[in-house]
């Protein structure tokens, strides 16, 4: 592949196992690299991957990262304090009294990110209408601040009751804190989340404070390393970070509001899928992003991404807002509706105390990695099972960059799984493969069946280093008929980084019954949010001329505690028609999501939302990849279960697959992934270079 003279955009996606790098030139040409992640210092992995691609001129970097997520999962965030209203010290502890595992008596609530000792109260009170009932006790507040500063905290969260409607007392506290500790990171709930619901607002503000110092140091270090490596000496290289909602934001904004980048990496894959689906004319797509650590699923319906206003982090399976809660820390920020399970290539295979076979959620990660990496890993993983089954190249991955030791896979799977279960090693490995697919199906069902959507009406878009290897088993379990494997699937999320727009989201609580809503006041409130959103973009150096604005509203039946978010389509159609149309749309969505509607119950408006986006430069590139340095073997023996047994399977390159449908079994081996087409399935390569698999009956 001929390298372009100039490469002006760089996408870097860091996962738990691999770091993916994509360079796109002005002429649309693409260069890619896939290297093991370096958890001790992620910048080292990026530097290693970039080295073979330099020197080239780069004008912009877009980054997807798991740093924020890992910080919470590993509880390695900043020592954080919390100041709240007298009587509300234990809001984090009480939560919503939800129990995600109804019959599991051993389950324990996650510990609050701020210990009770560092949660302090101040005397003040604002009522639900924003009226000051008791002014802030300034002297008492000063004493509280001085005490909490004496505990050597690294960050401070402030969340006062009803501050979402009147932020005066929080701002006074902010000024006092800045006076006493001008360099201390401070998160005020009125700036982080000016929205009703005390627990969710407190949790979100605390998470922001907990992450701020860590994310700020990480992004600053990464920026310095990139500028140094790319010899960008005139001025700082623009660095953007993918948000959980599918937009990008500047590194400076991400350091200030890290709550928006927690689902950074998974969001990029959905954006890439949306771009591809739009290009080839698909309207309904279920995405499967399976890497080395987790598997993520999301839904593209009628050409649009499904969003969720709230999700949990650190609670195992992430299933958005509409199913069981309480297992993690609630985060009330807009995010692409993604369900995630601990099922990746590095997922550790083990027998539980009852002797049942389990796959994940614990992962061997990049270090030490699966046993076949021969880097010290002693536990069998899903990757080891795939090596035993013959699905993966027994000698190497990533075009030869990562050598494998197949003997270690056979040995560890036999000793720790097959022998205790009195199974052959191949049958044990096939059991592991099917259990992993069942785990992934949980995520797929969470965004489809459990949202009132039938997965059989969707095309499965599988990507990530392991998604194409397990896609057919997942599709069969869900009754799906067609699978789409894009070119460079193992680097697909990194492409998505370069297709995301710059986005700025604002929310404001606006609690009214729908029938009592003043349409003029409603429109005026939206206009004020528009102005604030434009100002936020311009503060980041973005031109306000090309801003696209989208409006949305959170609705619920009066008395409910959960809302549905609907776009505001047209406010100029007349008051009665607007209310009727919005009410009918809400009832339809409520019935689709929860299975019922309540035509006689009043509908309540809870929040108004405005999203401002600025388009980024999007090169019309073809998904290319460097050719493998290794010659593909003519065939490989693969095991497809006890019924089918071992078969000699051809091994093809993507280019070797034609536009005429070919029957399986066969394997398509690529630089960044392996695609399995089992018996009873057929596949072809379409005009865009995608591999389309048709499921058998």
Burial pattern 61-89, b for ≥16 Cβ within 10 A else e, equals: bbbbbbbbbbbbeeeebbebbbbbbbebe
Distance CA 120, CA 527 (A): 37
C-alpha 57: how far from its chain's center? 30
Classify 246 as helix, strand or coil: coil
CB 496 within 8 A of CB 22: no
For 124-156, b/e burial (b = at least 16 CB within 10 A) is: bbbeeeeeeeeebeeeebbebbeebeeeebbbb
Q: Cα separations (Å) of 183 from 76, 178, 479? A: 21, 7, 56
Taking a C-beta distance cutoff of 8 angstroms, is the pair 78, 209 a contact? yes
Which pLDDT band holds residue 537 (cuts at 50, 70, 90)? confident
How far apart are alpha carbons 497 and 489 in whole angstroms?
Answer: 14
- 217 preceded by cis ω (within 30°)? no
Q: Where exactly does CATH 3.30.1490 map onto the chain? A: 503-614
pLDDT of residue 626: 44
Q: Are 470 and 443 in contact (CB under 8 A)?
A: no
Name residues whose C-beta falls within 8 Å of residue 580's C-beta, 6 or more positions apart in sequence.
none
pLDDT in tens, 131-162: 999 999 999 999 999 999 999 999 999 999 99
Q: What is the pLDDT of residues 374-427, one digit of tens each?
A: 888 889 999 999 999 999 988 877 776 778 899 999 999 999 999 999 999 999
The highest-confidence range among 55-59, 105-109, 167-171, 580-584, by mean pLDDT, is 167-171
176-211 residue pLDDT tens: 999 999 999 999 999 999 988 899 999 999 999 999
pLDDT given for residue 633 in this prediction: 66
Range of lowest pLDDT (40-49, 295-304, 504-513): 40-49
Q: Among 214-218, 233-237, 627-631, 649-653, whose mean pLDDT is lowest?
A: 627-631
CATH of domain 503-614: 3.30.1490
Residue-wise pLDDT for 63-88, tens only, equals: 998 888 888 878 899 999 999 999 99
pLDDT at 618: 61
Question: Rounded distance, CA 429 to CA 418, Å?
Answer: 8
Q: Residues 650-677: what's their mean pLDDT?
A: 90
Quickly state the pLDDT bin for 4 (edges 50, 70, 90): very low
Find residue 241's DSSP bridge partners: 63, 249
Q: Residue 483: in which H helix or E strand, if any?
A: strand 482-485
């Amino acid at each position: 592949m001929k390298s372009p003279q100039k490469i002006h955009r760089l996408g870097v996606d860091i996962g738990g196992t691999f770091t993916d790098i994509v360079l796109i030139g002005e002429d649309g040409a693409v260069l890619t690299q896939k290297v093991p992640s370096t958890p001790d210092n992620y910048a080292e992995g990026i530097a290693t991957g970039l080295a073979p691609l330099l020197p080239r001129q780069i004008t912009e970097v877009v980054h997807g990262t798991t740093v924020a997520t890992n910080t919470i999962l590993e509880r390695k965030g900043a020592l954080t304090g919390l100041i709240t209203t007298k009587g509300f010290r234990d809001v984090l502890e009480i939560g919503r009294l939800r129990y995600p595992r109804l019959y599991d008596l051993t389950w324990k609530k996650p510990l609050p990110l701020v210990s009770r000792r560092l949660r302090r109260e101040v005397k003040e009170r604002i009522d639900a209408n924003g009226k000051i009932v008791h002014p802030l006790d300034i002297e008492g507040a000063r004493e509280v601040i001085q005490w909490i500063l004496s505990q050597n905290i690294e960050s401070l969260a402030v969340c006062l009751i009803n501050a979402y409607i009147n932020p005066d007392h929080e701002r006074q506290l902010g000024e006092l804190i800045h006076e006493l500790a001008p360099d201390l990171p401070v998160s005020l709930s009125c700036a982080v989340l000016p929205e009703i619901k005390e627990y969710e607002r407190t949790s979100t503000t605390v998470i922001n404070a907990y992450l701020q110092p860590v994310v700020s140091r990480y992004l600053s270090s990464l920026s310095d390393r990139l500028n140094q490596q790319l010899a960008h000496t005139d001025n700082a290289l623009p660095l953007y970070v993918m948000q959980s909602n599918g937009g990008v934001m500047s590194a400076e904004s991400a350091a200030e509001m890290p709550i928006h980048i927690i689902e950074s990496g998974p969001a990029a894959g959905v954006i890439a899928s949306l771009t591809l689906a739009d290009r080839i004319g698909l309207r309904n797509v279920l995405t499967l992003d399976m890497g080395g650590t987790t598997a993520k699923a999301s839904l593209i319906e009628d050409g649009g991404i499904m969003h969720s206003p709230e999700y949990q982090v650190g609670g195992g399976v992430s299933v958005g807002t509409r199913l069981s809660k309480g297992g993690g820390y609630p985060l009330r920020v807009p995010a692409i509706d993604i369900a995630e399970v601990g099922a990746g290539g590095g997922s550790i295979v083990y027998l539980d105390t009852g002797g049942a076979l389990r796959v994940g959620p614990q992962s061997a990660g990049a270090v030490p990695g699966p046993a076949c990496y021969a880097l010290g890993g002693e536990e069998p993983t899903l990757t080891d099972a795939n090596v035993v089954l013959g699905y993966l190249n027994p000698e190497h991955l990533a075009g030869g960059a990562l050598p494998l030791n197949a003997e270690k896979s056979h040995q560890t799977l036999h000793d720790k799984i097959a022998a205790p279960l009195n199974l052959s090693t191949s049958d044990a490995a096939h059991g592991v493969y099917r259990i992993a697919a069942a785990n992934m199906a949980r995520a797929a069902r969470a965004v489809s069946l459990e949202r009132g959507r039938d997965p059989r009406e969707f095309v499965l878009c599988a990507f990530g280093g392991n998604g194409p290897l397990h896609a057919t088993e997942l599709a069969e379990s869900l009754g799906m008929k067609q699978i789409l494997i894009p070119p460079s699937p193992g680097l697909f999320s990194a492409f998505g980084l370069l297709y995301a727009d710059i986005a700025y989201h604002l929310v404001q609580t606006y609690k009214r019954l729908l029938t009592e809503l003043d349409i003029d006041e409603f429109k005026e409130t939206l206009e004020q949010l528009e102005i604030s959103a434009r100002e936020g973009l311009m503060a980041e150096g973005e031109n306000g001329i090309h801003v696209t604005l989208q409006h949305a509203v959170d609705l619920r039946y009066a008395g409910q505690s959960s809302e549905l978010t609907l776009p505001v389509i047209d406010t100029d159609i007349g008051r009665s028609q607007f209310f009727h149309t919005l009410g009918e749309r809400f009832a339809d969505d409520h019935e689709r999501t929860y299975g019922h509607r309540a035509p006689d119950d009043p509908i309540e408006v809870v929040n108004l939302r405005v999203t401002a986006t600025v388009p980024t430069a999007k090169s019309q590139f073809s998904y290319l990849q460097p050719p493998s340095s290794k010659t593909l073997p003519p065939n490989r023996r693969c095991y497809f279960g006890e019924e089918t047994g071992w078969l000699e399977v051809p091994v093809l390159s993507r280019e070797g697959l034609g536009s005429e449908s070919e029957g399986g079994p066969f394997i398509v081996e690529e630089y960044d992934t392996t695609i399995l087409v089992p018996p009873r399935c057929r596949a072809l390569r379409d005009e865009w270079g995608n591999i389309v698999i048709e499921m058998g009956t």
